[in-house]
Amino acid sequence: MAECVRDNAEEPQLKMHKANGSGDGDGDGGAVEAPRSRFNLGSFRLEKILRGSARDKTVFVHGKVEEDCGDDQDAVIILEKTPFREETLPQLLNKNADLRLQMQNDIYSTHHLHAPSALNEIKTTVVYPATEKHIKKYLQQEMHLINETADDYKNITAPYLQSQSFSIQWVYNILEKKAEADRIIHEHPDPKNGFILIPDFKWNQKQVDDLYAIAIAHRREVKSLRDLTAEHLPMLQTILQEGQMAIFKRYNVPKSSLRIYLHYQPSYYHLHVHFTAVGYDAPGTMVERAHLLSSVIENLQLDPEYYQKQTLTFALKADDPLLQKFKEEGRL
């Protein structure tokens, strides 16, 4: 059978376009027209809803995409209602608004407001082609808490991670400026202590209420919180201080309004730090996953090998193979 060639077979993150690319970090962040997507929704066939959230106004769906050569490829599509923006409210709330009454009781009433199509945007994230790991990642499942000791990490987690192959080439493409270079907010180019600060794909950059940026370390041998020692303090302090300054310079958000943290376990194993607005209920800020960068720095100042010794707690989904490894070792 002839090999099926896809125009858009690059890593999923490389296809995520934003309407206001940020150039080299010194622009004004003004909106520009986004390019038309090469992903054809007409070839997408819905298989099932993986999960959804009425509170967050999001839905995660799994489907199949028919290739030109006749093969079907898996895809995951995430649909999310975008936040309201102050500058567009006059276009919603005016005498021409299509407002339909649903219920009225004394001074209280509820309505359906049918917004103009230009103001009814749905942020759409496409993971294509998606692997089984991607599908499981977004599937609603029962969760279990793991208390991972230092020995657990050495004997269970680390060997399991080494046996897995989950490409992070898209991360290296960002660091090498092969992709998303126009979106960089700030870069410290030093290969040992430097990083690139870039908007997370969850944030459309149209308002700062849900600000979300990621600092990706240039050092490739540091995978997660477990690898950090006092040797990495200059890198962590650089990320903290320069990241705060860059966000204030670009978005006028002070450091007191930022939540800055690492995940353990992370969603991908290359050291990165999350910068989110304090008022934003960002995914992954639960107490069992998020570790404030300021606390990480202080812990390493107190004990250079703190994260090689400390028991760390995290949650795993019911069908996660790592959970099965902990069960096999009698740790649950």
The whole-angstrom separation of Cα 330 and Cα 101 is 59
Residue 12 has pLDDT above 60, yes or no: no
Q: What is the mean pLDDT of residues 301-325?
A: 94
Model confidence over 16-49: pLDDT tens digits? Answer: 333 333 333 443 444 456 788 888 888 999 999 9
* 8 A C-beta contact, residue 246 and residue 181: no
Annotated active-site positions, please? 272
- Determine the pLDDT at residue 256: 98
Long-range (24+ apart) CB contacts under 8 A made by 161-166 are 161/223, 161/269, 166/133, 166/268, 166/269
Q: What is the mean pLDDT of residues 189-197?
A: 97
Q: How far is CA 76 from the centre of its chain?
A: 15
State the pLDDT confidence band at 4, using cuts at 50, 70 and 90. low
The whole-angstrom separation of Cα 132 and Cα 113 is 39
**Length of the chain as a residue count:** 332
- Determine the pLDDT at residue 25: 40
Q: Is the model more confident about 271 or about 6?
A: 271
Lowest mean pLDDT among 64-73, 175-184, 229-238, 248-257: 64-73
Residues 6+ apart with CB under 8 A from 306: 299, 300
Instruction: At 129, give phi and psi (nearest 5°).
Output: -70, 140
* 8 A C-beta contact, residue 265 and residue 272: no
The whole-angstrom separation of Cα 134 and Cα 69 is 23
Model confidence over 83-128: pLDDT tens digits? Answer: 888 888 898 898 888 999 998 888 889 999 998 888 888 889 999 9
Q: Is the model more confident about 79 or about 23?
A: 79
- Determine the pLDDT at residue 32: 54
Q: What is the mean pLDDT of residues 229-256?
A: 98
Q: What is the mean pLDDT of residues 49-72?
A: 86
- Determine the pLDDT at residue 195: 98
In the chain, at which residue ranges do the beta strands (DSSP E only) sit?
A: 44-53, 58-66, 72-81, 98-105, 108-114, 122-127, 143-148, 186-188, 195-199, 212-217, 258-263, 272-277, 290-292, 312-317
Q: What is the mean pLDDT of residues 195-203?
A: 93
Q: What is the mean pLDDT of residues 265-289?
A: 94
Q: How far is CA 269 from the centre of its chain?
A: 13
Model confidence over 126-168: pLDDT tens digits? Answer: 999 998 888 888 888 788 999 999 999 999 999 999 998 778 9
* 8 A C-beta contact, residue 233 and residue 300: yes
State the pLDDT confidence band at 323, using cuts at 50, 70 and 90. very high
Residue 9 has pLDDT above 60, yes or no: no
* 8 A C-beta contact, residue 327 and residue 302: no
Start-to-end C-alpha separation, the chain: 47
Highest mean pLDDT among 4-18, 39-53, 223-237: 223-237
The whole-angstrom separation of Cα 203 and Cα 211 is 6
Residue 313 tokens, joined: 């707690």
